[in-house]
Structure 1
């Protein structure tokens, strides 16, 4: 089977209180569809958890406007640790998650009225599109960007889910061997070096950067691709200082953005392609893992600066848990999208006050 990338499935966020964070993201970002909540031991991530398995709780939420989900992740067998330095833009790892908006200026006004901590004024990025950055309740930075597609336009929030990430890099051209050559982000929206008005107000945002915004020229296919929609990766290389690794001397799952996850089919073909490009799997669940309400195979690679990219080949996914409706993805054509009405049934898992 050839590789099929359906889109960004989720961004992983290590936080100290999984339920408090889930409620905040529901109220302020519209992430109100609970796909699963699972308590288990992370036994396969030993290269990134000090060689020992650790217990955790994970909640995956979505937004019916579309975009990827939030995997809200909390250690329960240890206290998740913050970085021992102040993170700055250009540090190595995921600097910011990107969420889409149906109306960026309108979202700015809504978040300002809701007392969300806004870090930057409403500005245009180098592509001429409105954007701004906010902090969540635990200090993680999110960029609100213009959405290019929406699964459902009429939802309670003006924002949708994850459409990408801002990732620190020391060599953008080297990093593109993964992001462009393998993951399909082949379209360069801009490649500019300088100081940027839309980054003023971000920690370290006043420095000089090379910024490269990448999108995929071919529409994603398969499974939940209508929900995930088009996505983008922005690679940033800070020129005025030596960047630090965001997760240096810490575990995967500690506080902050822990990985960016892609929904794929054809994992074996993907593995061969990644190895040929110099990105071998560092973690591989091999057989189907079970997260209680979902199952599949997951793997990890590191980009050239150690940022963790996850791949999930979904085998079983819950649509309406109350009536026991699950989809067996292994019996479907991997390039065929799920019908919109089927994906739309996820709305019955909406969390409310």
Structure 2
């Protein structure tokens, strides 16, 4: 079996009621203007998380080619997506915040202020001492803009793509068995319990949290790792009471942050390691799935609080769709980065925000 390799965060799945409207917003404010695929089909393998029913869905994987992970935008086609029954609070269980990287956080803050976006904090320093701030999109999803010097092809856009997530958990020590030991986020940047000033503007953020920021100690390699870049996972545990599950009584694909997806190599090795640690695959495409013009092998596990983690081993991606030009990854050295020029060809599919 090919040795397991976590290449980076490929995308964050986000559910919407109007996928076209939301994508326009993300193109304008996060530069997510390169669609890797767009597809409408039945989600037949996800019935474990959709009440035993098969639903049609529209999906778009959009990337920012400066670097970072993408957004996998989702919308049910034959079901009305459901919002949470109660407002999500800090410390609830699941993906709470998506981190977006920027070469100049001050410029992003000034631009968002001028655009009258829903800023949830002033520009301030994180517990690590780096500039950051929080902003909500029109659909109540929260994003954190963070400093980064890690770029694939830095141009003029104010932000890159996904650089990490904040995940609410009930027991950080239990969660570390997955995020640190299996996913390899082995560098603990900080582990602090306090009332945090930067959380004060977030929903129910004025209480004591334990926050643990994790990164990979070694640079990632293989496939699209240079494009995806370095990433971080921040685990937060509320100390006054246990949060509720963000997707309680809702389906995968309903509104909000559905899952975090990792680009991986060596799916069978990863499956064995996850099973040995008690994180069995709950969904497994087993071979190659097709999504639009892209193809690969995907699977899901749950973290200790049932937050969904997706793994994708990419086999094929479209480079120039109109010409039928594809990039096959099946027979390449799994631990060698794709040439920059080859990855940059994805930008030929760039769309403009109308």
> Normalization by structure 2: what TM-score?
0.98
Q: Distance in 1 between matches of 2:322 and 2:150?
A: 30
Distance in 2 between the 1:193 and 1:142 partners? Answer: 22
User: Shift of the alpha carbon at 1:318?
Assistant: 1.1
What is the rounded CA distance, in whole Å, between the counterparts of 2:267 and 2:129 in structure 1?
37
Look up the SS of the partner of 1:10 in the other structure. Answer: strand
Q: Deviations over 1:264-290 (max 9, x none)?
A: 111000000101111000100112111
* Offset, 1:112: 1.0
Provide the C-alpha distance between the structure 2 equivalents of 1:53 and 1:294, rounded to a whole number of angstroms.
21
Whether 2:144 is the aligned partner of 1:140: answer no
Partner Cα distance (1:148, 1:169) in 2? 29
1:4 deviates by 1.4
Instruction: State whether structure 2 residue 267 is matched by structure 1 residue 275.
Output: no
Partner-residue secondary structure (3-state), 2:317 = strand
Q: How far apart, CA to CA, are the structure 2 residues paired with 1:8 and 1:148? A: 17
Alpha-carbon deviations, 1:17-41, whole Å to 9, x = none?
Answer: 1111111100111111111110000
Aligned ranges 1:78-89 → 2 under 5 Å: 78-89=79-90
For structure 1, the 5+ residue unaligned runs are none
Q: For the Cα contact (< 8 Å) 1:122–1:132, is it kept in 2?
A: yes
- Is residue 123–residue 197 contact of structure 1 (8 Å, CA) maintained in 2? no
Cα shift at 1:111: 1.0
Give the C-alpha shift of residue 323 in structure 1: 2.0
The residue number in structure 1 matching 2:240 is 240
Q: Secondary structure at the match of 2:334?
A: coil
Alignment of 1:105-184 (within 5 A): 105-155=106-156, 157-184=157-184
User: Are 1:68 and 2:69 counterparts?
Assistant: yes
Aligned to 1:208: 208
1:320 is displaced (CA, Å) by: 1.9
> 1:265 & 1:118 partners in 2: Cα distance?
38
- Matching residue of 2:10: 9
- Preserved contact between residue 296 and residue 315 of structure 1 (Cα < 8 Å): yes
Cα RMSD of the aligned pairs, angstroms, is 0.8
Contact preservation (8 Å) 1:187, 1:215:
yes
Q: CA deviation at 1:346?
A: 1.4
Which deviates the most, 285-294 or 315-324?
Answer: 315-324
Partner Cα distance (1:229, 1:106) in 2 = 21
| 1:84-99 matched pairs, under 5 angstroms | 84-99=85-100
Deviation at 1:343, TM superposition (A): 0.7
SS in 2 for 1:159: coil
Shift of 1:58: 0.3
Runs of 4+ more than 4 Å apart: none
2:219 aligned with 1:219: yes
Residue 291 of structure 2 corresponds to residue 301 of structure 1: no
Q: Which runs of 5+ in 2 are unaligned?
A: none
- 1:160 positional shift: 0.5
TM-score by length of 1: 0.98
1:255-334 pair list within 5 angstroms: 255-334=255-334
Match of 1:39 in 2: 40
Return the offset for 1:173. 1.1
Aligned to 1:228: 228
Deviation at 1:242, TM superposition (A): 2.4
